[in-house]
Chain A
Amino acid sequence: MLLSGTVGGGSYVYNWNVTPVSTNGNQFTFNPFNSTQLQVTVQSATNTAANCSGTATIDIEVYPGATLNMTLIEGVSCTDQADGQVSLVISGEQGTGYVDQAPFEVINATYPI
């Protein structure tokens, strides 16, 4: 993920709450593994007065995966019987302040022929 911004003339010092993986001038690259809020404070390199700095924040949402598990409860009792049984459980991101992954929806099921 690449973030870039513009500040008016002069040189500045950028302080991020998360360390960028690389920096190129006023372009910063991050590689977050989880959703987070990035915050940067920009301070004039030549004037350290408090009124010569500014802060910006941005919410970064990392798209969550989901854990889908199927477990065999029992197989079929013999050839040509259809009495096998499995359990399925799916869990994803929830309660993090971002959009919950649930509800999930079954969109396809392929049965043995």
Chain B
Amino acid sequence: MTIGQELQNGETLIIDNLPEGNFSVTIKDNYGCTFEKTIYIPRVNNPIANLCTTLLACGTTSGDIELSFRTLDVHSAVTGTNYTGRIYQASSGSNEDLVTFTGTFTDTQIHQLANVTSTAIYVLEIISENGCTYTELSDHGCYNCLLKLLMTPIRFL
């Protein structure tokens, strides 16, 4: 869109390359009167969805788990493009990679994480080709113990 651009009655104009925030346009008609409209350009949602891990065995504080997730169609600049990903332990201080991988929006992935600890925080991070970084925290804590308790049949003597 350029200043001075003419629009006919009912003509649709597509405006792209907009950054996040409020975008306003003022248009003048043939009488010289002006009309203004503002719209908010938001950031799209995180494309990481359905992040899920298997759980540590009840009573253990470390072990191997399986982490799965899928990526969503949230933006035309991202969908269909490749990404690089990694899973790292945020609480270690070193942010050392546990797993690295590649993928293509939209897809589903499953990764094995060896020797994770129940108290650590693990982060799934993917970086799209256009430079966007998306992260999601993995929660693999003690829900398994609660679930195990709930699912254990109670025997009355």
**Residues of A in contact with B (beta carbons under 8 Å apart):** 63, 66, 68-79, 81-92, 94, 99-113
Contacts and interface: CB of A to CB of B under 8 A. Distances in A.
B9 A94 contact: yes
Given A74-B75, A77-B130, A81-B131, A89 B3 contact: no
B9 A109 contact: no
B155 interface: no
Given A84-B41, A106-B27, A100 B9 contact: yes
Interface in B23-37: 23-31, 33-37
A70 B5 CA distance: 16
Contacts of A70: 23, 25, 37-39
Given A78-B44, A86-B41, 11 more contacts: A70-B25, A76-B41, A77-B74, A79-B43, A81-B19, A82-B17, A84-B20, A90-B11, A91-B9, A106-B4, A106-B5
Nearest to B45: A75
28 contacts: A63-B33, A66-B27, A68-B35, A68-B36, A68-B37, A70-B25, A75-B43, A75-B75, A77-B78, A81-B77, A83-B18, A83-B77, A84-B41, A85-B17, A86-B15, A86-B23, A88-B25, A89-B11, A102-B30, A104-B9, A105-B27, A106-B1, A106-B6, A107-B4, A109-B15, A110-B22, A110-B24, A112-B41
Given A84-B20, A112-B19, A77 B31 contact: no
Contacts of B25: 68, 70, 88, 106, 108-110
B10 interface: yes
Contacts of B92: none
Contacts of B6: 103-106
